[in-house]
């Protein structure tokens, strides 16, 4: 739940038209915002790729995620009262509130308090490429930075390991999988 101070601050800053929307309309709006965020990320990447080539575009994308992921984690922690150094349980909660969690199908498996596996079962980017007959986008280099930086903000003791991510082969059930482990 949002605490009263955050809720009051949000109402003061927000577009007053949002207060008129029903819960269902707000949920739809959140989905649209998430799709728009992904669209700007994708169109930016395509422009960088066209101008500089794939290798440089991926490098620039990785640099962007290196900055975005920690900031996203900090905002999620603040918004949803997730404590610093909260371990795997804090990471599990935070992953559910990432901006693309609203539009991708993901799965979190917590095997123990010290270990978690996260799977992206349906990635909007990869699914769109597949519908167009294109191969998977090779996002592993960016993903390693994205997930590692996100997890480090939640708890610096968490180590991140890629189980698989394109261009790696992956099962049909998911596109990528990440393992998070508490290090003492």
Q: Is residue 2 part of a domain?
A: no
Q: How many domains does the chain have?
A: 1
Give the residue numbers spanning the domain of 65. Answer: 22-182
Q: Is residue 167 part of a domain?
A: yes
Asked whether 176 and 139 are in contact (CB, 8 A), the reply is yes
Q: Is residue 175 part of a domain?
A: yes
User: What is the model's pLDDT at position 13?
Assistant: 65
Q: Is residue 117 part of a domain?
A: yes
Q: Is residue 17 part of a domain?
A: no
Query: How many other C-beta atoms lie within 10 A of the C-beta of residue 122?
Result: 14
Distance in angstroms (rounded) separating the CA atoms of residues 160 and 97: 18
**Is omega for the bond preceding 167 within 30 degrees of 0, making it cis?**
yes
Q: Is residue 157 part of a domain?
A: yes
CA dihedral 161, 165, 168, 173 (to 10 degrees): 110
Q: Is residue 8 part of a domain?
A: no
pTM: 0.87
Q: Is residue 12 part of a domain?
A: no
Residue pLDDT tens, the chain, 184 long: 456 676 666 666 667 777 788 889 989 999 999 999 999 998 999 999 999 999 999 999 999 999 999 999 999 999 999 999 999 999 999 999 999 999 999 999 878 999 999 999 999 999 988 999 988 999 999 999 999 999 999 999 999 999 999 999 999 999 999 999 999 7
- Which tokens sit at 149? 């930086």
Domain harbouring 146, CATH code? 3.30.1380
Helices (H) and strands (E) in the chain, counts: 6, 4
User: What is the model's pLDDT at position 117?
Assistant: 97
């Amino acid at each position: 739940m949002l605490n009263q101070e955050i809720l009051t601050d949000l109402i003061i800053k927000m577009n007053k038209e949002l207060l008129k929307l029903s819960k269902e309309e707000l949920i739809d709006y959140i989905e649209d915002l998430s799709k728009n965020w992904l669209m700007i990320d994708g169109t930016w990447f395509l422009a960088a790729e066209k101008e500089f080539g794939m290798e440089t575009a991926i490098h620039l994308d990785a640099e962007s995620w290196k900055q975005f992921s920690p900031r996203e984690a900090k905002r999620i922690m603040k918004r949803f009262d997730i404590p610093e150094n909260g371990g795997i349980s804090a990471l599990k909660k935070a992953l559910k509130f990432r901006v693309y969690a609203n539009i991708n199908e993901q799965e979190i498996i917590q095997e123990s308090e010290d270990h978690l596996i996260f799977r992206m079962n349906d990635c909007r980017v990869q699914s769109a490429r597949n519908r167009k007959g294109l191969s998977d986008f090779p996002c592993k280099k960016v993903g390693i930075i994205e997930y590692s930086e996100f997890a480090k903000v939640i708890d610096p003791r968490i180590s991140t390991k890629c189980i698989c991510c394109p261009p790696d082969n992956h099962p049909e059930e998911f596109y990528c999988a990440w393992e998070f482990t508490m290090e003492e």
